[in-house]
Amino acid sequence: MEENKKIYFASDFHLGVPTYEKSREREDRIVRWLDSIKHDAAEVFLVGDIFDFWFEYKTVIPRGYVRLLGKLAELSDKGIKLTFFKGNHDMWMFNYLEKELGATIISDEKVIEINGKRLYIHHGDGLGPGDKTYKLLKKFFRSKVCQWLFARLHPNLGIGIADKWSRSSRIANDKKEVFLGEEHEWLVIYSKEILQKEHFDYFIYGHRHLPLDIQLSETSRYINLGEWIHFNTYAVFDGENVELKYFEKEEKELAEV
């Protein structure tokens, strides 16, 4: 990584919910964030659930999100590397963003090593103990058969059903998550298991919808990227440390979150 350059991480924008207007407000904020980091960003990792629902038909993509996509194109054209992770809400990203934005799409985890620091990055869904039903569903949703069948539905119907479903999710209903305690947080448990076998300086996840920075061992930390409905959180890696930050949040507001 070039000197003075940084790597940025954010996740769980959930664009599209709860309403068009609210989502647009959030999209504008995300565009302001991207504008504020483009001078020193070497790379931007978008760690899943960027869209509350996404599907690419062979010739058609969902309406909307033009400001975000345009801004990402500008960053990409400036030479900033973009990486999208599939989230549980937008696992159906195929090659559109690769083609249009030159982005890399990651299905599961990605390991990066910079200046001797090792980072493990994953959206965070379907990891750790429990949640057997979801793990099974994930396998089905990710199968070629399921995607082929969904693509056969007329988009008005297919995306219509998906929209109804996504409007019933916790995040779309403005529910804030509650911290379960280190011993019960499944991504903490999962990361500690990995640490038994392999060292990572940082584990970076989304999905939990809670900004978290937890020391796992003397040399290892778990960072959760939170979400952009209540927190506007992102992480920045300067080659040495990963820091969790809030965008456009007053201290007074932070006391409330």
The smaller minimum CB distance to Mn ion, of residues 86 and 221, is found at: 86
The smaller minimum CB distance to Mn ion, of residues 57 and 141, is found at: 141
Nearest distance in Å: CB 48, Mn ion: 7
Contact set with Mn ion (CB under 5 A): 12, 49
Nearest distance in Å: CB 87, Mn ion: 6
Phi-psi region of 72 (alpha: psi -120 to 50; beta: other; left: phi over 0): alpha
The smaller minimum CB distance to Mn ion, of residues 18 and 239, is found at: 18
Distances 97 to 27, 52, 102 between C-alpha atoms, Å: 17, 16, 7
Nearest distance in Å: CB 115, Mn ion: 30
* Encoded amino acid at 47, one letter: V
Binning the chain into helix, strand and coil, the percentages to the nearest 5 are: 35, 25, 40
Nearest distance in Å: CB 113, Mn ion: 27
Is-contact 156 240, C-beta < 8 A? no
Nearest distance in Å: CB 239, Mn ion: 28
Residue 214 tokens read as 């937890």
The smaller minimum CB distance to Mn ion, of residues 43 and 49, is found at: 49
Residue 131 tokens read as 């949640």
The smaller minimum CB distance to Mn ion, of residues 173 and 215, is found at: 173
Beta bridge partners of 111: 120
CA proximity to 29, closest of 233, 213, 210: 233
Nearest distance in Å: CB 257, Mn ion: 17
Surface-to-core class of residue 21, CB atoms within 10 Å of its CB (0-12 exposed, 13-18 middle, 19+ buried): exposed
The smaller minimum CB distance to Mn ion, of residues 191 and 224, is found at: 224
Is-contact 257 250, C-beta < 8 A? no
Q: What is the Cα–Cα distance from 187 to 193, expressed in whole angstroms?
A: 10
| Nearest residue to the partner Mn ion, using Cβ | 49
